[in-house]
Structure 1
Amino acid sequence: MSSNNSTRETRMSRNADHQSGPQRPHHGWRLFRRILFIIVAIGVFAIVAGAGLFFFYAQSAPKITQSALSSDASTRVYDANNNVISRLGAQNRTYVKSKNIPDTLKAAVVSTEDRRFYQNNGVDPIRILGAAFANVSGSSLGMQGGSTLTQQLVKLSVFSTAASDRTLKRKAQEAWLALQVDHKYSKDQILEYYINKVYMGNGVYGMQTAAQYYYGTSLKNLSLPQLALLAGMPQSPTNYDPTTYPATAKKRRDLVLNAMAKNKVITSAQAQEAEAVSIKNGLSSIHQTTASTSAKTTKVIDAYLKQVYSELKAKGYNTTTGGLKVYTNLNMDAQQKLYNIANTSAYIAYPSDKFQIGSTIVNPNNGKVVAMIGGRKTGNVTFGLNRAVQTGRSSASTAKPLMDYGPAIEYLNYPTYEPVKDTPFTYPGTDKKLYDWDKQYQGTITMRKALYESRNIPAIRTLQNVGISKATTFLKGLGMTFDKTLTLQNGIGLYISTEQEAAAYAAFANGGTYYKPYLVSKVVTQDGKAHNYSATGKRAMSAATAFMLTDMMKDVMTNNNGSGRSAAISGLYQAGKTGTDSYPDDYADKVPDGATMDSWFTGYTKSYAVSVWTGYDKQFEPGHYVSEADTKIAQEIYKYEMSYLAQNAPNTDWTKPSTVTETTQNNNKEYYITGHAGTVADTTSTSQYGSTNTTSSSAYSSNSQVTTSSSSSRVSSSTTESSSSKESSSTEQTPGGDGNDDNTNSSSTTTSSASSTTQTTDNNKDNS
């Protein structure tokens, strides 16, 4: 026991000695202090670096002026001569001074956009942290953002609103300028600028103009719920439009009222009373605007402007709040001429006001769209249906140079005098016969004659030899891609727009280079930064192919049997192709003989390519057919417009490239690719065939003496798509569109199975 006590005493003594001596820091505490020091150091470094980066960006911030703060944020559009042709938004703004802005509206805007507006210096760190928390927690209900009202004003006044410009640099410069604005201007001035600048939907800028537009009166006459609605609209003016989306507009208005009550500028009872008022209370059925761009000018350029805004949207620009300067390729004189041809009786006797057109004019040397019209007799509409870019109607025989004869020259080395067969034809795998408009056959004829007379059967036989794969590749080089595999039927009808077709034919005009068509050449954002746009040319075909096609298409207008003689312009070097799209068999007996659904003409010089579609929007309604006489209207539109364009453009002929050899065949000047002359067959007689189906015979069956090298090239190029008889299987094309398709900028086409019994272009007729 004595031993145990001694041991216990010894331990107690040691503990007493340990506790009474100096305390040594615990190892964990030292580690914690070290980590804390590192964190603080990193934090200090981050703050210093952030401040340095902030001031670095701030030095390059653009200057902000009173003019920029007070001006509208409209998008200005210029033609090719730098003349303003449209000011989206500027025409719809009435400026209101601070003294005439109701205090209730000011309170609503502050409560909604920046509750500490009168306390902050243009930037609110508390607001930024609150916005971050609200966004993470999802508790903001759309009422809390990181930018102060002053920062929003700066953004609307100086910077682009494009998503690509939402960078750290822009945010730093925005904050720096907001501090300057807050220092230089009073809170009332800042609020005045903001209320007059914000976009309020429907092309309206500023809340005073919005009061006139939506309620038919000024701000001072509006009630609390009406002012609350206007205060909440800038966040999403389209979605909060009370005339179009009353439910979402009411929800937003009530949120503003709740924010005002929370900010103690109205009572809860006042908020509840205002919330009970119908969102439609006091709305005007007649919207008042003041236009600086005349209605007449707007109608003339409507389709072109619509496509301009489509291009801008595709590039990421906001045309409603961007404050952009948009420079286009529009030739206003050419546009006005095209509009006059379409809408006055001075040029063409149209069958009715419902008869429609769509047309696009392209510069072949750079892809610039210089004019475009999307309809006629449209009334006072803004951005109506643009038929120039719709793809729901068959291009009929204007597809032949693109899908049939162009690829045949490019890949199979066809000469212009290539023998082709115009003999009875049935689509492989079906019992569907293909006919020409006259239900006649001409036997063996030259490719040139088949083209300028627009014979269908030789075109499809040529496509068989080319093969769908090669033809599709050729089309892709001309900017055309399709959602579904093309078929033989598409050789006499592609579902493309006049814009696409004008750009494709432009490649024939310039010697084989494709330029993607474009309308916008330059965009200058609010910060003064210029963005230039152009098309890069890509080789789509050989110079030989372009020249030989052009030479054959000259005959469309100049040959006595050419299908496009109504488009001929004396003395002008030009080429082109007609297209008429007949009704399907099950509807043909409901329209007069010779009536068609659509009529096209696409032609070109070395300076311009013009594509024209004509027809009715609802082609299956009674009387909505293009009569045989009216199929000439597309050619006449082209003729009048091209005659005008040619007055100020060089009139020069195309020069034969060195890769092409000239020859004389059957007393006619013809051409072939050097080294691929082929053999000429007798095409002087016109044969008439009965109902015997000869589809098993090759398009070349009478041309057995073709040179070995040329024949070998052709066979190898078509083995993928063709059988040994050079006739591939195909499916049929269903009728395209119901006349209501506004599928702009689409190149897709729809195919159906081979069992389909109706089709659009079997009876394509290009009248002589």
Structure 2
Amino acid sequence: MLFVIVAIGVLGILAGAGLFFFYAQSAPKITQSALSSDTSTRVYDANGKVISRLGAQNRNYVQNSNIPTTLKQAVVSTEDRRFYKNNGVDPIRILGAAFANVSGSSLGMQGGSTLTQQLVKLSVFSTAAADRTLKRKAQEAWLALKVDHNYSKDQILEYYINKVYMGNGVYGMQTAAEYYYGKDLKDLELPQLALLAGMPQAPNDYDPTTYPQYAEKRRNLVLDAMAKNNAITSAQAAQAKVTNIKTGLVKTHHSTTTDAKTTKVIDAYLKQVYAELKAKGYNTTTGGLKVYTNLDMGAQKKLYSIVNSGNYVNFPSSKFQVGSTIVNPNNGQVVAMIGGRKTGNVTFGLNRAVQTDRSSASTAKPLMDYGPAIEHLYYPTYEPVKDTAFTYPGTDKSLYDWDKQYQGTITMRKALYESRNIPAVRTLQNVGISKATKFLEGLGMTFDKTLTLQNGIGLYISSEQEAAAYAAFANGGTYYKPYLVSKVVTQDGKKHNYASTGKRAMSAATAFMLTDMMKDVITNESGSGRSAAISGLYQAGKTGTDSYPDDYADKVPDGATMDSWFTGYTKNYAVSVWTGYDKQFQTGHYVSESQTTIAQEIYKYEMSYLAGKSTNTDWTAPSTVTRTTQNGKTEYYVTGHPGTVTDTTATSQYGSTNNTNSSAYSSNNQATTSSSTSKTESSTTESSTSKESSSTEQKPSGNGNDDDNNTQTSSTNNADDNKN
């Protein structure tokens, strides 16, 4: 029996050794260049040009001769007490770490990897959790043995001290000494060197400026380790512990980015890139990543110039803000993004392009009202809709148009390009909240709670989401989730490609008919988006303005709004622009009636630039759409569903009394049936939430975000007076 056990043990050892050498054969090569290089994340634009090297600018390499002995002792005592005795791999350390993990006695000081193994990992391997495999650990150990054989202990320490991430975009302990203390390593005292030695394990958590209490505990653990390792005496450790953790810290820091001017231009885009990388599980601080993005630097610079230079638009003040996103309709690539204007030297500031706490106002109408009506009820572009007095079901709250007038029965086309509220909400009521919500889901928007009729004139979504949704109108009905990162190359050379898979969100007929109606928003003499017109360009779009609540309306001038939007597109680009103030209820922070066109002007100048680098082609009607003439105008209907032609001339200025059922004007019998069903469902929903229903636009409970990264506020906005 003993013989069998011994034999099995020997076979296990031989098998393990065989597997180790099998894995070792495929280990990547490790060079002096890899060991000495920084591990910052490099970000490239769509043309393959480096636009950001996080932490690279201030990485000042320090030679071994200028590294204080005290720092070397602190690093070794903290990371690898047997560093000078092992050969790069330490079996005793591995067993000790395993026991410490089980017993809980390690205090986070000594893991299973030697300092040399950590250097190898930082130099040639991906740091992603998914890559921590047995094969990778075997290769890491093999390379550590080779590094220990080829380089001296002082060289290995030099490489490690210059490579580790130290928080705030800083790489290397020399750079950290300059960043945190404004001094060279050789000029620091024991307490400061001990802090730096302990930071690499969790640099953000041990930042002495942000988390002094954690930094102090970590520093003291390093001092205890140094005393235990006989690098300093217990008395020296005790004296150093008395030093305040903030002693010597500077208040201003050097920049840690490659080009401050360029970084300012791409700040919002870059912030969103890092958010995408984090969501995918990448470590952007120690990963040594090469990140390839969809950024069109020319379009980005142009957008930045439009909102910051003063050469294009007359902004009322420096506090007037902008959030904008540009998407390629044919693949979902985000090619440019602006998160604000006049932001100063703030890095990774508020990105208003992805905020979801402001109402999209009437830009919601094609998304929630008219799009679903064409898709599910087969409304033609000339569908008769009623602009008459309307009260939300189950309430005494009335809804008004921007001019407080009624036009009676008009066409859906006219209701859209003049941005009439009542016909939009009536249309949504006929479609039903359920079908409308499903339509929105197809365009990448989900909400925590049931939407209401009020959301038909205002959704809480971002410019990124809206640009991607309108892009589906532009390309014939296919939705692509917007994305910024196209490829990531990890430190071990592995390539990871990313793309958005298109999903059919609506019929080609719906997309074409919406586009044809939204052309009139820009070109019709009564259209709400005439300031976005670009001569000769085939384009479509929608305006949106969000008025103040009734209880605040008397504090701002007539026609003043909280938010103003314009989202427009060609076959090549979709551009969404939000404008307004961060603190819209602060005195003077309103968008005046004349200033509501600023969003359109930003769009116009940016789209003019984009049009100059792309083909200008018009949309062609799909075979599922039939062209007709109604009242001397070209109109369209879904083939097989021509509807009933009705005289849509306004009967009176104020129309008829409230009538929530417009089925008499439905396109066809099938649509009438669908409309009645939807109406019942909608009415039930509204009556159950009648306490929330009012003429004031209600904020949805969800944030409309694909990944729920944004937080909603609890304020409510009034969309009664949306004239856009």
Name the TM tier (shorter chain). over 0.9
Query: How far 1:162 moved relative to its partner?
Result: 0.9
Aligned partner of residue 552 in structure 2, secondary structure: helix
Partners of 2:688 and 2:226 in 1: how far apart? 74
2:685 is the alignment partner of 1:721: no
2:363 is the alignment partner of 1:398: yes
> Match for 1:117 among 83, 95, 115?
83
2:357 and 2:712 in contact (8 A); partners too: no
Between the two proteins, the alignment pairs up a number of residues equal to: 719
1:612 and 1:638 in contact (8 A); partners too: yes
2:617 is the alignment partner of 1:659: no
Query: How far 1:44 moved relative to its partner?
Result: 2.0
CA offsets 1:239-273 (integer angstroms, 9 cap, x no match): 11111111111111111111111111111111111
> Match for 1:694 among 642, 648, 658?
658
Specify the alignment match of 1:49 in structure 2. Answer: 15
2:445 and 2:465 in contact (8 A); partners too: yes
Specify the alignment match of 2:224 in structure 1. Answer: 258
2:197 is the alignment partner of 1:231: yes
Alignment of 1:356-375 (within 5 A): 356-375=321-340
Partners of 1:530 and 1:286 in 2: how far apart? 38
2:145 is the alignment partner of 1:179: yes
2:362 and 2:458 in contact (8 A); partners too: yes
CA offsets 1:615-670 (integer angstroms, 9 cap, x no match): 00000000000000000000000000000000010100001000100000000100
Aligned partner of residue 47 in structure 1, secondary structure: helix
1:385 and 1:742 in contact (8 A); partners too: no
Query: How far 1:210 moved relative to its partner?
Result: 0.7
CA offsets 1:573-612 (integer angstroms, 9 cap, x no match): 0000000000000000000000000000000000000000
Partners of 1:123 and 1:490 in 2: how far apart? 62
CA offsets 1:270-290 (integer angstroms, 9 cap, x no match): 111111111111111222346
Q: Which runs of 5+ in 2 are unaligned?
A: none
> Match for 2:61 among 77, 81, 95?
95
Query: How far 1:362 moved relative to its partner?
Result: 0.1
Q: Quick check: which has more Rg, 1 or 2?
A: 1
Query: How far 1:51 moved relative to its partner?
Result: 1.1
2:446 and 2:704 in contact (8 A); partners too: no
**Aligned AA (2:209):** T
Query: How far 1:711 moved relative to its partner?
Result: 2.6
Specify the alignment match of 2:121 in structure 1. Answer: 155
Query: How far 1:685 moved relative to its partner?
Result: 3.1
RMSD between superposed Cα atoms in Å:
2.1
Specify the alignment match of 2:74 in structure 1. Answer: 108
Query: How far 1:735 moved relative to its partner?
Result: 6.8
Partners of 1:555 and 1:727 in 2: how far apart? 35
Alignment of 1:329-344 (within 5 A): 329-344=294-309
CA offsets 1:63-116 (integer angstroms, 9 cap, x no match): 000000000001000000000000001112100000110111001100000000
Partners of 1:162 and 1:626 in 2: how far apart? 46
Aligned partner of residue 585 in structure 1, secondary structure: coil
In the superposition, the TM-score normalised over structure 1's length comes to 0.91
Specify the alignment match of 1:322 in structure 2. Answer: 287
**Aligned AA (1:134):** A
Query: How far 1:39 moved relative to its partner?
Result: 3.3
Query: How far 1:344 moved relative to its partner?
Result: 1.1
Partners of 2:208 and 2:161 in 1: how far apart? 19
Partners of 1:723 and 1:290 in 2: how far apart? 57
2:29 is the alignment partner of 1:63: yes
2:460 and 2:704 in contact (8 A); partners too: no
Q: Percent identity?
A: 80
Specify the alignment match of 2:42 in structure 1. Answer: 76
Specify the alignment match of 1:201 in structure 2. Answer: 167
**Aligned AA (2:721):** N
2:55 and 2:256 in contact (8 A); partners too: no
**Aligned AA (2:348):** F
Query: How far 1:296 moved relative to its partner?
Result: 1.3
Partners of 1:153 and 1:640 in 2: how far apart? 50
Partners of 1:303 and 1:759 in 2: how far apart? 26
Query: How far 1:45 moved relative to its partner?
Result: 2.4
> Match for 1:762 among 709, 720, 724?
720
**Aligned AA (1:111):** S
Partners of 1:712 and 1:764 in 2: how far apart? 31
Task: Sort the Cα spacing of 1:453 and 1:363 in 2 relative to 1 into closer, same or farther, 3 A.
Answer: same
Query: How far 1:742 moved relative to its partner?
Result: 14
Specify the alignment match of 1:418 in structure 2. Answer: 383
**Aligned AA (1:93):** R
Query: How far 1:747 moved relative to its partner?
Result: 8.1
Aligned partner of residue 459 in structure 1, secondary structure: helix
Query: How far 1:728 moved relative to its partner?
Result: 9.7
Task: Sort the Cα spacing of 1:212 and 1:225 in 2 relative to 1 into closer, same or farther, 3 A.
Answer: same
Partners of 1:172 and 1:386 in 2: how far apart? 43
> Match for 1:437 among 385, 402, 424?
402
Aligned partner of residue 589 in structure 1, secondary structure: helix
Task: Sort the Cα spacing of 1:290 and 1:62 in 2 relative to 1 into closer, same or farther, 3 A.
Answer: same
Query: How far 1:719 moved relative to its partner?
Result: 4.8
Specify the alignment match of 1:708 in structure 2. Answer: 669
Partners of 1:565 and 1:274 in 2: how far apart? 70
CA offsets 1:370-428 (integer angstroms, 9 cap, x no match): 00000000000100000000000000000000000000000111100000000000111
Partners of 2:235 and 2:709 in 1: how far apart? 58
Specify the alignment match of 1:452 in structure 2. Answer: 417
Query: How far 1:686 moved relative to its partner?
Result: 5.0
2:500 is the alignment partner of 1:535: yes
Partners of 2:687 and 2:111 in 1: how far apart? 66
Query: How far 1:480 moved relative to its partner?
Result: 0.3
Aligned partner of residue 681 in structure 2, secondary structure: coil
**Aligned AA (2:596):** T
Specify the alignment match of 1:31 in structure 2. Answer: none
Task: Sort the Cα spacing of 1:620 and 1:744 in 2 relative to 1 into closer, same or farther, 3 A.
Answer: farther
Query: How far 1:759 moved relative to its partner?
Result: 4.5
Task: Sort the Cα spacing of 1:551 and 1:221 in 2 relative to 1 into closer, same or farther, 3 A.
Answer: same
In the superposition, the TM-score normalised over structure 2's length comes to 0.96
Partners of 1:458 and 1:742 in 2: how far apart? 24
CA offsets 1:121-146 (integer angstroms, 9 cap, x no match): 00000000000111111111111100
Task: Sort the Cα spacing of 1:254 and 1:710 in 2 relative to 1 into closer, same or farther, 3 A.
Answer: closer
**Aligned AA (1:88):** L
Query: How far 1:157 moved relative to its partner?
Result: 0.4
CA offsets 1:420-477 (integer angstroms, 9 cap, x no match): 0000001111111100110000000000000000000000000001000000000000
2:481 is the alignment partner of 1:523: no
Partners of 2:330 and 2:511 in 1: how far apart? 14
**Aligned AA (2:544):** G
Partners of 1:263 and 1:348 in 2: how far apart? 66
Query: How far 1:312 moved relative to its partner?
Result: 0.2
Partners of 2:713 and 2:248 in 1: how far apart? 52
Task: Sort the Cα spacing of 1:49 and 1:245 in 2 relative to 1 into closer, same or farther, 3 A.
Answer: same
2:473 is the alignment partner of 1:508: yes
Partners of 1:377 and 1:304 in 2: how far apart? 16
Partners of 2:711 and 2:689 in 1: how far apart? 19
Query: How far 1:748 moved relative to its partner?
Result: 8.0
1:421 and 1:700 in contact (8 A); partners too: no
Partners of 1:70 and 1:596 in 2: how far apart? 57
Q: Which runs of 5+ in 1 are unaligned?
A: 1-33
4+ runs deviating over 6 angstroms: 726-729, 733-737, 741-744, 747-752
**Aligned AA (2:217):** K
Specify the alignment match of 1:9 in structure 2. Answer: none
Partners of 1:107 and 1:607 in 2: how far apart? 60
Task: Sort the Cα spacing of 1:290 and 1:499 in 2 relative to 1 into closer, same or farther, 3 A.
Answer: closer
Partners of 2:319 and 2:678 in 1: how far apart? 46
Task: Sort the Cα spacing of 1:735 and 1:471 in 2 relative to 1 into closer, same or farther, 3 A.
Answer: closer
Specify the alignment match of 1:164 in structure 2. Answer: 130
Specify the alignment match of 2:516 in structure 1. Answer: 551
CA offsets 1:676-716 (integer angstroms, 9 cap, x no match): 001111112352228x7514x42234x38x54344334445
